[in-house]
């Protein structure tokens, strides 16, 4: 049967029940009508066993007289049997058997994959896609129909954010371009991707009730675009976030869920709540655009039916929500199908995808005097934990036996002259970091090694995001940033340090010299209101606007080889609003090693009426070149994508004039520049009667022409003079109702633009 045929057989009580979750990570089943249970699970970095076991096997444990504490301890030590009591080992053995049966005879050995921030640092859409494929296969293995939080494309605005590591970038283009590849990769395996948290879930403090005050321009330019890109490639589900935006909970926000998501973007999938994010009336949430209320058991069908009865929820929207749920189940419930590839191939595919992400995503931030790569890895003396922190806490946690320790990969390495200090810092859902400082115990170790002249000192940053390094950066020799790398982090780090792999990761966030320099520093909330006072000036946009030098700029990352950009050109010198700009250049590997480089294309509007960033990333590409090789490359962007949102007009507008293009290897390392002209921009911003008084009052020829037209038509010149003195931001056509008759003024404006 089709989804519509199934819908037509249901009564209203059954329909309402489908919109309410059944289990903590599962949906309702109406077997007689062909509607089967769907299993959800957090899975952006792999299978969350705590959730899987809790949803499927907790009943077995209780029935057999195990306590919840024993059950939890077994889950978190599933592959560390020495930590279990004899009774717990018995429970673990039974759970192992049951999970093997559940997977169709495959032993449970899940993988752990890199989070968004490391995937983002690859700048490689194909690598992200392949990790999405691996995660989709992992979901199929454990009979999961929808991977929650794959991807999390919330903008990386505030580095203290406890879930900072889950996101991709401080730039919406990077987040959107790479996040949508995760969507495509997961869904290529017949598993529903889930884009979260919609929208602007950028902190963990008071997340369930905090009211985020965000300008419309910042929402449109910074916080919505990555979600739109994921929706436009066919994301099956979107998760509405906990916070409020400008007074309205995201789960009860018809502007966000209906006007933007479903109508403007044409989203055809299912919109669910974050777990417990609906704190109001369930009927109002469905009326606002929610299609599924989680977690279960969500026993509020009566609220939905009451909203239907009193007209707050229309019949059309009610049936539409049910239809979306049914369609999700028909398309993504693959539990009866055989696993698509052999077990060994699945294991290797996941390992390779994770390794490639680490190999391309680890960022070398410093390498004084070319200390690395090392010809002799026995020179390394490891300090810090033998175990890398491979995932962040909370919904991103993964329990696996497939992640080798540093000691297993690097060996004992106790007597070398290169001191490698592994700085491993926690971060967790539900709470933000207190600051960006290194703990005192690490600071003492680093300072002691610096003061001991027998060592070269290298830091390995096993961290969730930026940390303050200004105290040591001039005195240490090398820095590698690995974030939370997943199961292959140790192998990839070894291969990069030894030179088997040339590092090519690039920062997708700016590292500050100190936390106080970050654009949102003064806006961190201490209660239930957070004002996004920096507006659109997130990340590098904010540093450049305030002329603050960061420790490491956006897009930065070192290599063992060198690159140059040559012969930059655009396909035209002038463009219209509907055009695409094609920027051609030659990239050359000028060093003696094979390597990959990320070329970043920025566009700036140096003479703009509206406040704008100095420049913004508009295109990028990553290219692998052999030593000495050069390649002709073209990057492109659409003119429509360089507009700025106008609060006055409620839409994106593009100013006419000269724009600057820069090509480089970071936001602070620009190798080639060029320019182009937009001859005629958005009509609303063209010099003329739509202009503000301030736009023409200091241009004598235009002011004279305006005064002449005012007098010629019999209007009052004094009104212009008064507005120049007191309200110069008012528009000319607001002052003068007959502004359409100012023909000479318009002609002079057109001539001025041509000049």
Active site residues: 274
Query: Do the Cβ atoms of 670 and 553 come closer than 8 Å?
Result: no
Which is it for strands 146-148 and 40-42: parallel, antiparallel or unpaired?
parallel
The partner residues of 272 in beta bridges, in order of sequence, read 239, 292
User: Sign of the C-alpha dihedral, residues 243, 249, 251, 255?
Assistant: negative
For 366-396, letters b (16+ CB in 10 Å) and e give bbeeebbbbeebebbbbbbeebbbbbbbbbb
CA distance 552 to 546: 16
Nearest to 423 by CA among 480, 343, 493: 480
Nearest to 707 by CA among 745, 664, 675, 733: 745
CA distance 396 to 165: 10
Nearest to 717 by CA among 735, 701, 744: 735
Lookup: tokens for 281: 């009336």
- Omega of the bond leading into 547 within 30 degrees of 0 (cis): no
CA distance 569 to 161: 41
In Å, how far are 16, 101, 735 from 691, measured between CA atoms?
A: 52, 71, 11
Query: Do the Cβ atoms of 229 and 180 come closer than 8 Å?
Result: yes
Helix, strand or coil, per DSSP, at residue 248: strand
| DSSP annotation of 298 | -
Query: Do the Cβ atoms of 357 and 132 come closer than 8 Å?
Result: no
CA distance 351 to 360: 14
Nearest to 420 by CA among 368, 479, 467: 479
CB atoms within 10 A of CB 322: 24
Question: Look-up: residue for tokens 């000028």?
Answer: 590
3-state secondary structure 448-507: HHHHCCCCEEEEEEECCCCCCCCCCCCCCCEEEECCCCCCCHHHHHHHHHHCCCCCCCCC
389 Cβ contact list (under 8 Å, min separation 6): 424, 425, 426, 462, 484
Kindly state the helix (H) or strand (E) to which residue 553 belongs, with its residue range.
Answer: none
Helix, strand or coil, per DSSP, at residue 422: strand
CA distance 535 to 606: 19
Query: Alpha helix locations (H) across 499-637?
Result: 540-545
| Helix, strand, coil percent content, the chain, rounded in steps of 5 | 40, 20, 40
Q: Rounded to 5 degrees, what are φ and ψ at 195?
A: -90, 125
CA distance 625 to 591: 10
Query: Do the Cβ atoms of 687 and 696 come closer than 8 Å?
Result: yes
- Omega of the bond leading into 216 within 30 degrees of 0 (cis): no
């Amino acid at each position: 049967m089709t989804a519509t045929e199934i819908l037509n057989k249901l009564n209203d009580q059954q329909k309402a029940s489908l919109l309410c979750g059944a289990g903590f990570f599962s949906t309702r089943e109406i077997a007689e009508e062909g509607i089967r249970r769907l299993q959800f699970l957090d899975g952006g970095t792999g299978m969350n066993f705590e959730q899987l076991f809790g949803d499927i096997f907790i009943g077995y444990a209780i029935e057999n007289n195990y306590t919840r504490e024993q059950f939890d301890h077994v889950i978190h030590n599933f592959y560390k049997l020495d930590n279990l009591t004899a009774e717990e080992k018995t429970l673990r053995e039974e759970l192992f058997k049951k999970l093997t049966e559940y997977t169709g005879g495959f032993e449970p050995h899940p993988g752990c994959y890199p989070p968004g921030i490391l995937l983002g640092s690859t700048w490689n859409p194909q690598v992200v896609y392949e990790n999405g494929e691996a995660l989709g296969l992992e979901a199929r293995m454990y009979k999961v129909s929808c991977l929650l939080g794959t991807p999390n494309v919330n903008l990386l605005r505030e580095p203290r954010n406890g879930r900072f590591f889950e996101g991709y970038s401080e730039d919406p283009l990077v987040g959107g371009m790479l996040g949508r590849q995760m969507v495509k990769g997961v869904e290529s395996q017949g598993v529903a991707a889930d884009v979260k948290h919609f929208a602007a879930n950028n902190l963990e403090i008071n997340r369930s009730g905090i009211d985020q005050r965000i300008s419309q321009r910042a929402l449109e330019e910074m916080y919505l675009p990555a979600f739109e890109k994921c929706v436009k490639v066919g994301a099956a589900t979107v998760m509405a976030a906990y916070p409020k935006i400008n007074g309205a909970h995201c789960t009860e926000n018809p502007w966000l869920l209906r006007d933007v998501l479903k109508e403007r973007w044409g989203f055809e999938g299912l919109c669910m709540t974050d777990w417990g994010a609906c704190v109001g009336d369930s009927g109002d949430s469905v009326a606002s655009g929610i299609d599924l209320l989680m977690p279960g058991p969500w026993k509020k069908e009566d609220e939905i039916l009451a909203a239907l009865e009193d007209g707050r929820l229309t019949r059309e929207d009610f049936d539409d929500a049910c239809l979306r749920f049914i369609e999700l189940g028909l398309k993504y419930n693959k539990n009866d199908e055989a696993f698509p590839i052999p077990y060994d191939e699945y294991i290797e595919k996941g390992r390779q995808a994770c390794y490639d992400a680490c190999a391309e995503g680890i960022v070398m931030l410093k390498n004084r005097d070319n200390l690395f790569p090392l010809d002799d890895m026995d020179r390394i003396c490891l300090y810090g934990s033998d175990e890398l922190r491979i995932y962040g806490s909370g919904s991103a946690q993964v329990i696996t036996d497939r992640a080798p320790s540093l000691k297993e990969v690097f060996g004992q390495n106790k007597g070398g002259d290169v001191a490698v200090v592994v700085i491993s810092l926690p971060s967790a859902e539900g709470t933000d970091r207190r600051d960006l400082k290194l703990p005192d115990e690490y600071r003492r170790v680093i300072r002691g090694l610096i003061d001991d002249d027998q060592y070269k000192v290298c830091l390995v940053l096993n961290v969730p995001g930026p940390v303050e390094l200004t105290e040591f950066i001039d005195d240490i020799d090398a820095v590698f940033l690995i974030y939370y790398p997943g199961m292959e982090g140790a192998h990839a780090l070894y291969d990069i340090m030894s030179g088997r792999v040339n590092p090519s990761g690039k920062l997708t966030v700016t590292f500050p010299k100190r936390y106080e320099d970050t654009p949102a520093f003064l806006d961190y909330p201490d209660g239930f209101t957070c004002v996004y006072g920096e507006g659109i000036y997130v990340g590098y946009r904010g540093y450049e606007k305030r002329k603050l030098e960061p420790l490491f700029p956006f897009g930065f990352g070192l290599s063992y080889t060198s690159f140059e950009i040559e012969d930059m050109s655009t396909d035209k010198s002038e463009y219209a609003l509907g055009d695409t700009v094609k920027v051609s250049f030659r990239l050359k590997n000028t060093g003696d090693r094979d390597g990959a480089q990320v070329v970043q294309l920025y566009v700036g509007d140096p003479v703009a009426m509206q406040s704008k960033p100095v420049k913004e990333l508009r295109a990028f590409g990553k290219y692998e070149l052999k030593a000495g090789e050069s390649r002709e490359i073209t990057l492109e962007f659409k003119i429509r994508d360089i507009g700025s949102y106008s609060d006055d007009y409620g839409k994106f507008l593009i100013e006419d004039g000269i724009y600057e293009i820069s090509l480089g290897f970071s936001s602070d390392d620009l190798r080639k520049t060029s320019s182009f002209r937009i001859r005629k921009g958005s009509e609303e911003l063209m010099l003329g009667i739509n202009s503000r008084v301030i736009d023409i009052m200091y241009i004598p020829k235009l002011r004279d022409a305006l005064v002449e037209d005012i007098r010629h038509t019999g209007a009052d010149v004094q009104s212009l003079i008064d507005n120049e003195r007191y309200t110069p931001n008012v528009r000319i056509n607001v002052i003068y109702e007959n502004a359409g008759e100012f023909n000479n003024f318009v002609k002079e404006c057109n001539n001025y633009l041509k000049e």
